[in-house]
Amino acid sequence: MPRIRRPAAQGLSSRPTFRTGVSCVLMGWQDKTGRASAAEEESLRRPVSRHDGDALLPRPDHSPHDPMSYTYTTDLAAVRAIVHRYAIRAGLTEARAIDLVLAVSEVAANTVRHAQSPGSLKIWYDTKEIVCQIQDEGFITDPLAGRRMPSVDAMGGHGLWIVHRVCDRVEIHSGETGTTIRLHMELPG
């Protein structure tokens, strides 16, 4: 496995980071690993107001079989935090949770960049898989979006291609009423 050294900056450590496939260091976790303390866990459960007009962060204390919903306009950091929280709670390993965060972040960024509407994130899981659904009013014209490897010098098209590489299954439905993308990841065990 290749080792990558990165300089210490803005709270990130200088410890070597290991890379497998597309999983790379995507989030600086302020040198924290493992579970959060009880106080930190409790703070994660409380809704947090966002300054850019996004909704309150949802409380993760509902049934995992009921979809959690979150509407976003620009706050991708909140989207990433929610996905990571639910991925770990569902039972994904840290590496697979980061892959799911990457995939959802790419799709949500497409909403922010291309759709003229807010995006909607829904997450649910059972004993076999976790599913993240991103929905907006945009339209994808290419029926093979993300299924073909983009050229190295292409200015776009890499995000959905990466999404297809890191998720176990990707469903894209796009039409006149908008686009719905479901990202599936199997849970270990």
Per residue in 28-51, pLDDT (tens digit) is 333 333 444 555 444 443 333 333
pTM of the entire predicted model: 0.68
Query: Would you tell me the crossing angle of helices 158-166 and 94-114 to the nearest 10 degrees?
Result: 150
Contacts of residue 182, defined as CB under 8 A and 6 or more positions apart, other chains included, come to: 131, 132, 133, 169, 170, 171
The whole-number pLDDT of residue 71 equals 93
Determine which of 30-34, 169-173, 185-189 has the lowest per-residue pLDDT on average.
30-34
The whole-number pLDDT of residue 149 equals 87
Mean pLDDT of 9-27: 38
How far is Cα 54 from Cα 72, in angstroms, rounded to an integer? 5
Hey, where are the domains in the chain?
Answer: 1-30, 39-186
The whole-number pLDDT of residue 168 equals 97
Better-scored residue on pLDDT, 1 or 168: 168
Better-scored residue on pLDDT, 165 or 39: 165
Better-scored residue on pLDDT, 26 or 38: 38
Residue 189 pLDDT grade (very low, low, confident, very high; cuts 50, 70, 90): confident
CATH superfamily of this structure's domain 39-186:
Histidine kinase-like ATPase, C-terminal domain (3.30.565.10)
Neighbours of 45 (CB within 10 A): 12
Per residue in 129-160, pLDDT (tens digit) is 999 999 999 999 888 888 888 888 888 778 89
Hey, CA dihedral for 123, 51, 44, 56, is it positive or negative? negative
CA 110 to chain CA centroid, nearest Å = 12
Per residue in 61-107, pLDDT (tens digit) is 555 567 889 999 988 999 999 999 999 999 999 999 999 999 999 99
DSSP reduced 3-state for 116: coil
- What is the DSSP annotation of 72-102? ESS-HHHHHHHHHHHHHHHT--HHHHHHHHH
List the beta strands (DSSP E) in the chain: 3-4, 17-18, 68-72, 119-125, 129-136, 169-175, 178-186
The whole-number pLDDT of residue 68 equals 86
